[in-house]
């Protein structure tokens, strides 16, 4: 099984597996690190001390971008600029139709035929996220992602005090929900997921004003705080799976450099989809430089927290 096939199956819910083959370069690095572990760590710590701490650089940039994109929708409507019309699920920018890929799929399944206007808008969005990395939409644009990220901080604070426990589900649950929502759209002729999607609910509420649907978003956040950390994004939302497939061909990715890793595991603790960082576990890297899988949201939390700079953004063919 190729590495790309394995990463795709992991996105669907399969457990990460140890590599069948490890390159000679990676074996040499691991042999040196394990044989001279104390020296290796000491040298890296000295290098870290001489390097300025970036803090939350990428998180801050991401939050600012997310706020700016959603504010652009709001101002375009309230100021009647008409440069950007609609919401995140479907919009038009300077005359170009932009249709959320998952929403377009749901609508065409509900109508049971290909809608040409949706196809045109879908191509535009597909090309954009094929370059930037599909799941970048989740962390850099989706307003629910930001609220869920803040709710996660409350959950973790309560967990440290023993008030709550994180209840996990099988990651394949998201694939089941993806198929379920698709079948419901086809069988009922109604886009059931669009009614429940906190992404669409929040986007429309920001632009056109709040409604009763915000109560559903509030209940989701309460569930994530008290019961299951980041449950919607991890185990239910089909948008992430749809965009993950698109992001599989993206040249923009987060890459792992084996030589610089101290295997501290801090990156996996902050990651929404820690299975993509399985490569950072000792003995799991098949190459000296490995791009994370398509389920990676490119949120930058692992890049910010990695003290030895083993994780970085890069652009295939340029970086």
pLDDT at 166: 95
How far is the C-alpha of 78 from the C-alpha of 255, rounded, in Å?
Answer: 41
**Cβ pair 306, 267 in contact under 8 A:** yes
Average pLDDT, integer, range 98-114: 90
- Strand-pair partners of 285: none
pLDDT value at position 193? 96
The model's pLDDT over 181-204, given as tens digits with 9 standing for 90+, comes to: 999 999 999 999 999 999 999 999
Q: Residues 15-40: pLDDT tens digits?
A: 998 888 899 999 888 887 777 666 66
User: Nearest to residue 289, comparing CAs of 3, 61, 43?
Assistant: 3
Please say if the pLDDT value at position 263 is more than 90.
no
Please state whether the predicted TM-score (pTM) of the whole model is above 0.85: yes
Alpha-carbon gap, residue 98 to 95, rounded angstroms: 9
State residue 195's pLDDT score: 94
Angle of helix 57-78 relative to helix 143-160, nearest 10 degrees, comes to: 140
- From the CB of residue 316, how many other CB atoms can be counted at a distance below 10 Å? 12
Q: How far apart are CA 175 and CA 293, in angstroms?
A: 16
Bridge partners of 85, per DSSP, are 92
d(C-alpha 257, C-alpha 3), whole Å: 16
């Amino acid at each position: 099984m190729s590495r790309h096939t394995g990463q795709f199956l992991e996105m669907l819910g399969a457990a990460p597996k140890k590599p069948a083959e490890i390159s000679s370069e990676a074996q040499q690095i691991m042999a040196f690190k394990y044989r001279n572990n104390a020296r290796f760590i000491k040298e890296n710590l000295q290098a870290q001390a001489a390097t300025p701490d970036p803090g939350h650089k990428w998180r801050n940039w991401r939050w600012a971008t997310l706020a700016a994109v959603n504010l652009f929708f709001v101002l375009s409507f309230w100021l009647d600029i008409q440069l950007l019309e609609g919401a995140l699920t479907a919009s038009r920018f300077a005359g170009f139709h932009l249709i959320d890929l998952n929403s377009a799929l749901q609508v065409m399944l509900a109508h049971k035929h290909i809608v040409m206007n949706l196809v045109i808008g879908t191509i535009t969005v597909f090309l954009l996220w094929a370059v930037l990395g599909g799941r970048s939409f989740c962390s850099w644009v989706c307003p629910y992602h930001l609220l869920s990220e803040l709710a996660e901080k409350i959950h973790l604070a309560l967990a440290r005090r023993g008030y709550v426990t994180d209840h996990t589900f099988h990651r394949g649950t998201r694939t089941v929900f993806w198929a379920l929502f698709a079948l419901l759209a086809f069988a009922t002729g109604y886009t059931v997921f669009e009614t429940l999607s906190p992404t669409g609910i929040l986007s429309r509420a920001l632009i056109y004003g709040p409604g009763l649907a915000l109560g559903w978003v509030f209940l989701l956040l309460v569930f994530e705080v008290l019961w299951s950390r980041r449950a919607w994004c991890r185990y239910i939302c089909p948008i992430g799976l749809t965009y993950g497939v698109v992001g599989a061909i993206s040249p923009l990715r987060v890459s792992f450099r084996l030589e610089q890793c101290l295997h501290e595991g801090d990156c996996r603790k902050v990651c929404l989809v820690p299975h993509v960082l399985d490569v950072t576990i000792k003995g799991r890297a098949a190459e000296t430089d490995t791009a994370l899988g398509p389920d990676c949201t490119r949120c930058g939390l692992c890049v910010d927290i990695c003290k030895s700079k083993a994780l970085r953004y890069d652009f295939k063919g340029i970086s």
